[in-house]
Chain A
Amino acid sequence: MPGTLKTTGILSKDELMESPGMPTKERMEEGPIAIIECIQEIPCDPCVEACRHNAIEIGEDITCLPRLIEEKCTGCGICIADCPGQAIFVVDLNYSPEGSILMIPYEFFPLPTVDSTVMALDREGKVVGEAKVLKVSNPKKNDTTPVISLLVPKDLILDIRNISF
């Protein structure tokens, strides 16, 4: 669809692909990896310190966009809860023949139950399929930003960003 983040509130495919927070296709095939969907220059850097593997780089000027160092990223997902913009996701493309894993931040109530099936929503909030809830993580250090691990269809990994049930 036409439009950019600035005009619609939705990241265009180009904006996503050109972002320094986007891993390469090859790396995505290898295993769990973060996707940092942060493309506007805002003074902000909690993600850098959140990462235990030094896989996120911003530099002196914290207005610069976060850069994902994919060789160092293990896809652990700790950074997801720390991003004030809720712009970080983790994907495991080739998790299983049944689908890929997608980890999303989810600050709503109620939380879904593990093993339940929920509706998968795209960036516009439209239902594009179903997802299975594999894990709901809400440790104290997340400061009330639960992270949900979902089993989703592989071809929708870059589209699904929310759930409803």
Chain B
Amino acid sequence: MSAAIAAAKSGVEAVVLDENERPGGQLFKQIHKFFGSREHGAGTRGMDIGRQLLEDAEKFKVEVWSNAVVWGIFGGPQLGINYQQKVSKLEAKKVLLATGAYENSLAFAGWTLPGVMGAGAAQTMINIHRVLPGRRVLMVGAGNVGLIIAYQILQAGAQVLAVVEALPYIGGYGVHASKLRKCGVPILTNHTIKEAVGEDRVERAVVAEVDSNLKIKAGTEKSLDVDTIHMAVGLTPMAELAWLAGCQFSHIPELGGQVPLHDEDMLTTVDGIYVAGDLTGIEEAHTATEEGKLAGIAVSESLGYLGNQEALLLKQEVRADLKALRKGPFGEKRRKAKAKIIEERKSICRGP
């Protein structure tokens, strides 16, 4: 969205294709106030940032095609799409892929039972559809996703019996953990889920302590009386279209696995194809919108709608914001990993 808006501001004809009923990705599920800098929307709830993007899209005449599935991408670039009951090809001068990520799962005995689902799935049900998946929840994973969603489950009126985290420390922000602890939710570090038990759905969960190799310590099993288990065990870039387009990838575990390489303008190794957001590495909402903005500015420049000087100034502002967002102990790994992407891209595309 932010890429389309940035490009449209410069006069580029921008179209957003989204397979959902409305665009905005994960934003509308995020009912909590965002961190970051005040001037870039910190202190605002994710869902309101989403609303603002929709308003801006309308204001700057960005065309939005909802319920549009992009099933293919060809040279050109050309997109193969399914839209309004028709299969067709759409030609574009430039394409930005911002397809986000999908949730990882953890396989454990009983994990296929109804009642076991992704944490993001729970967030969709409670914040978008306003339905509770269950009343007594176990959250697996104490990263920001697990902590935030566990808190939102409490706000929705259900109970969280525990958060289990295999590492010896809490990966997410301490303030998110504190909000849960003062509601009486235990955060069991060095613990994992061993089994989900039930007939037609989860009736209880067995958790256990793990050693430093993340192996379950025999005899430490504990039974929890839950009817729902949510997994918040990381995200992986949803990179199918980037693969189909022939983009070069690199395996960077800190960013979620296979990520498409891009340069400082978010351009991949394929002419005319840009990437932004979680697709390029798992981070968060602000970095996603900023990368989108950067790509939008780069596209405008490349199409001649923005002069080089003007574009450079705009890009520098966005890059400075991205740098600030990746500072500190939580951002350090991501900052280095993102720099690695740009380095690797440079080493591939040397030449005239």
Q: Do chains A and B touch in the complex (CB under 8 A)?
A: yes
Interface residues of A (CB under 8 A from B): 5-11, 37-46, 48-50, 61-63, 82, 84-87, 107-109, 121-126, 143-145, 161-162
A residues less than 8 Å from B328 (CB atoms): 40-43, 63
Q: Which among B28-36, B125-133, B341-349 touches the partner chain?
A: B28-36
The smallest beta-carbon distance between A31 and chain B, in angstroms, is: 26
Residue pair A8, B35 in contact (C-beta under 8 Å): no
* Chain B residue at minimum C-beta to C-beta distance from A39: B174
Residue pair B182, A43 in contact (C-beta under 8 Å): no
Identify 16 residue pairs between A and B in the complex whose beta-carbon atoms are under 8 Å apart, listed by A's number: A8-B170, A8-B187, A40-B173, A40-B328, A41-B329, A43-B36, A82-B33, A85-B176, A85-B178, A87-B178, A108-B155, A121-B182, A123-B178, A124-B181, A125-B184, A143-B43
- Interface flags, B41-62, vs A, CB<8A=1, else 0: 0111100100000000000000
From A48, A123, A144, A162, name the one whose CB has the most chain B CB atoms within 10 angstroms: A162
With contact pairs A45-B42, A62-B324, A124-B182 given, residues A85 and B169 touching in the complex (Cβ less than 8 Å): no
Residue pair B187, A9 in contact (C-beta under 8 Å): yes
Residue pair B155, A9 in contact (C-beta under 8 Å): no
Residue pair A42, B182 in contact (C-beta under 8 Å): no
- Interface flags, B128-152, vs A, CB<8A=1, else 0: 0000000000000010000000000
Task: Determine the distance from Cα of A108 to Cα of B36 in the docked complex, in whole angstroms.
Answer: 24
Residue pair A43, B38 in contact (C-beta under 8 Å): no
Residue pair B154, A108 in contact (C-beta under 8 Å): yes
Check B189 for interface membership: any CB of A closer than 8 A: yes
Residue pair B169, A6 in contact (C-beta under 8 Å): yes
Residue pair A124, B184 in contact (C-beta under 8 Å): yes
Task: Determine the distance from Cα of A46 to Cα of B178 in the docked complex, in whole angstroms.
Answer: 19
- Which B180-205 residues have C-beta < 8 A from chain A? 180-185, 187, 189
The smallest beta-carbon distance between B155 and chain A, in angstroms, is: 6
* Chain B residue at minimum C-beta to C-beta distance from A163: B182
Chain B binding site: helix, strand, loop or mixed by DSSP?
Answer: mixed
A residues less than 8 Å from B157 (CB atoms): 109
Residue pair B324, A85 in contact (C-beta under 8 Å): no
The smallest beta-carbon distance between B292 and chain A, in angstroms, is: 18
Residue pair A43, B331 in contact (C-beta under 8 Å): yes
A residues less than 8 Å from B43 (CB atoms): 46, 50, 82, 84, 143
Task: Determine the distance from Cα of A73 to Cα of B42 in the docked complex, in whole angstroms.
Answer: 22
Residue pair A143, B329 in contact (C-beta under 8 Å): no
Check B88 for interface membership: any CB of A closer than 8 A: no
- Which B315-334 residues have C-beta < 8 A from chain A? 324-331
Task: Determine the distance from Cα of A7 to Cα of B43 in the docked complex, in whole angstroms.
Answer: 26
B residues less than 8 Å from A144 (CB atoms): 45
* Chain A residue at minimum C-beta to C-beta distance from B190: A7
Task: Determine the distance from Cα of A11 to Cα of B175 in the docked complex, in whole angstroms.
Answer: 9
With contact pairs A108-B154, A145-B33 given, residues A125 and B183 touching in the complex (Cβ less than 8 Å): yes
With contact pairs A9-B170, A84-B34 given, residues A43 and B178 touching in the complex (Cβ less than 8 Å): no
Task: Determine the distance from Cα of A41 to Cα of B34 in the docked complex, in whole angstroms.
Answer: 15
From A9, A43, A107, A145, name the one whose CB has the most chain B CB atoms within 10 angstroms: A9
Q: Could you say which of B168, B176, B182, B326 contacts A123, with CB atoms under 8 Å apart?
A: B182
* Chain B residue at minimum C-beta to C-beta distance from A50: B43
Residue pair A44, B36 in contact (C-beta under 8 Å): yes
Residue pair A7, B185 in contact (C-beta under 8 Å): no
Residue pair B182, A161 in contact (C-beta under 8 Å): yes
The smallest beta-carbon distance between A50 and chain B, in angstroms, is: 8
Starting from the known contacts A9-B177, A45-B42, 16 additional A-B residue pairs (CB-CB under 8 Å) come to A5-B177, A6-B174, A9-B174, A9-B180, A38-B175, A41-B330, A42-B35, A42-B173, A45-B37, A46-B43, A50-B43, A82-B33, A84-B43, A123-B182, A143-B33, A144-B45
With contact pairs A7-B189, A143-B45 given, residues A49 and B36 touching in the complex (Cβ less than 8 Å): no
B residues less than 8 Å from A123 (CB atoms): 178, 181-182
* Chain A residue at minimum C-beta to C-beta distance from B167: A7
The smallest beta-carbon distance between B147 and chain A, in angstroms, is: 8
Residue pair A11, B174 in contact (C-beta under 8 Å): yes
Q: Could you say which of A6, A48, A62 contacts B170, with CB atoms under 8 Å apart?
A: A6
The smallest beta-carbon distance between B164 and chain A, in angstroms, is: 13
Residue pair B32, A7 in contact (C-beta under 8 Å): no
